[in-house]
Structure 1
């Protein structure tokens, strides 16, 4: 695979992984809305943009890893297959969940 194609595969994986993570973010906003109603505060005060950015970055990394795992899929087909797109979206969703759980378990929180 030429370097240009590799870069496109990595970028596609990052974008689709982040998009898959956005599905989790939407579910998180639903939970946040419920918490805001229970505590009597606004949703905007509960949103941590740094957490959102890190979450999207983790989804992008999961998507890149997924795209690299699907290397053969990209080499053996003409064009992008629908199944590959949904696989990368799912990898962004589930992969970020796995990575975040790993971080919470093995990386100590800063004081």
Structure 2
């Protein structure tokens, strides 16, 4: 495994960790860092966060309540939201790496002509 693979793996891991920390602490700065690190794919992941929240709430409402009596979210909704957000941003990191590798390979091919 080359050095570039290790760097790519570290990049994807750092994006996933930032998203997980953002979910666990409820601090939007970590999510913002995940979005910025994965631009432009991070914008799609950001939209996916709201789509996932809507789906989780909608489907979850079929089986149980999505609000506690005090107005807070139940634990299952919070936990599944954190997991979904982390997966979305990690996937955005992976897609960003794949796109970067594609463009580097394409540029090398164009220079070789």
TM-score, with length taken from structure 1: 0.42
TM-score, length of structure 2 as denominator length = 0.42
Larger relative CO (CA 8 A, sep 6+): 1 or 2? 1
Q: Which has the larger radius of gyration?
A: 2
